[in-house]
Amino acid sequence: MSIVITTLIENEKGDCNLNNEFGLSLLIEDEDKSFIFDTGKTGEFVKNAIKMNIDLKNINDIVLSHSHFDHTGGVKTFTEKCNSHYTLHINKTFFDEKHRITDLIHEFLGNNFDESYLSKNNVKIHFLEKDEYKISKNITLFTNFKSLNDFEVSNPNYFRKIYDNYILDNMEDEIALAIDTKKGLILVCGCSHIGIANITENIKRRTGKNIYGIIGGLHLKKASEERMKKVLNYFSENNIKFFRVSHCTGENFIKMLKSITDDFVYNATGDKIIID
């Protein structure tokens, strides 16, 4: 088995010839299927793929971890320039409006397309109704996470608009994926809004398998030191040692993470991860 994950775009510029932006997009190649996980903030990931000699026209599946703009902004570019005959895998609540509301701002965080746009372009929508879905030979999608600890609390400024009402959004609808390897599961996360320890523990309990590694965004940039320490303790207690983090993980947490493992790489734009 050999799975290849290519970072099409991310916050940091790895390859100096590629474009970077605040967002995340990964090309994941399993033995029987290749698909895109998130599409970044804009369509720049498509330009990067061309520069890397990656042909996206044969990609027939896109998975969106959640509906925030920095993970969904490239959908239109892919649809109009690469391939419109693909399946979009999303949580059943994906099209609920997402907002950030504070005393000073009211900001729409969601995507720039709707169901009618996808329908007009012949894009198939696969709503994940159940908690998990096997997308390829070695990879399963997981969603509908539950809060299982007391230190990863919901962001009080994130809301979901239902009709004219705004309800607190705990982001349990985010989609993460698990790669089955000989050493255990390797998780891939877009932003881990509900908490990376929560996501990990949910998947661990559902599968009964140990978690070997974590790839992607961990959303700890603005986390308290206490929360970061508790996440690190969770990683240590569960013997998670393989890390390839990106995007919203945060500099302070990255420094702390490096102290507990020797198997750490910041996964920047253009980088490749090969999993045997």
Residue whose structure tokens are 């970077």: 20
Q: What per-residue confidence (pLDDT) applies to 84?
A: 92
Report helix, strand or coil for 21: coil
Tell me the average pLDDT of the chain.
Answer: 96
Residue type at 25? S
Helices and strands, number each (H, E), in the chain: 7, 18
Residue whose structure tokens are 């962001």: 155
Sequence-ordered alpha helix ranges (H) in 98-195: 115-120
Residue type at 199? I
Residue type at 202? N
Q: What per-residue confidence (pLDDT) applies to 96?
A: 94
Residue whose structure tokens are 């982001």: 171
pLDDT band at 1 (very low <50, low <70, confident <90, very high): low
Residue 119: CB atoms within 10 Å: 11
pLDDT in tens, 140-165: 999 999 999 999 998 999 999 998 89
Residue type at 28? I
Residue 208: CB atoms within 10 Å: 6
Overall number of domains in the chain: 1
List the CATH number of the domain containing 136: 3.60.15.10
Edge-to-edge strand list for the sheet holding 242-246: 132-136, 139-142, 176-181, 184-189, 211-217, 242-246, 263-266
State CA 37 to chain mean position distance.
Answer: 7
pLDDT in tens, 37-58: 999 999 999 999 999 999 999 9
Comparing 74 with 129, the larger pLDDT belongs to 74
pLDDT in tens, 173-190: 999 999 999 999 999 999
pLDDT in tens, 105-116: 999 999 999 999
**Average pLDDT rounded to a whole number, residues 119-130:** 96
Which distant-in-sequence residues (6+ apart) come within 8 Å of 77 by Cβ? 39, 42, 43, 46
**Average pLDDT rounded to a whole number, residues 10-36:** 95
The range of the structural domain enclosing residue 212 comes to 3-275
Q: What per-residue confidence (pLDDT) applies to 154?
A: 87
Q: What per-residue confidence (pLDDT) applies to 15?
A: 82
Residue 58: CB atoms within 10 Å: 9
Is the pLDDT at 82 greater than 70? The verdict is yes
pLDDT in tens, 208-250: 999 999 999 999 999 999 999 999 999 999 999 999 999 999 9
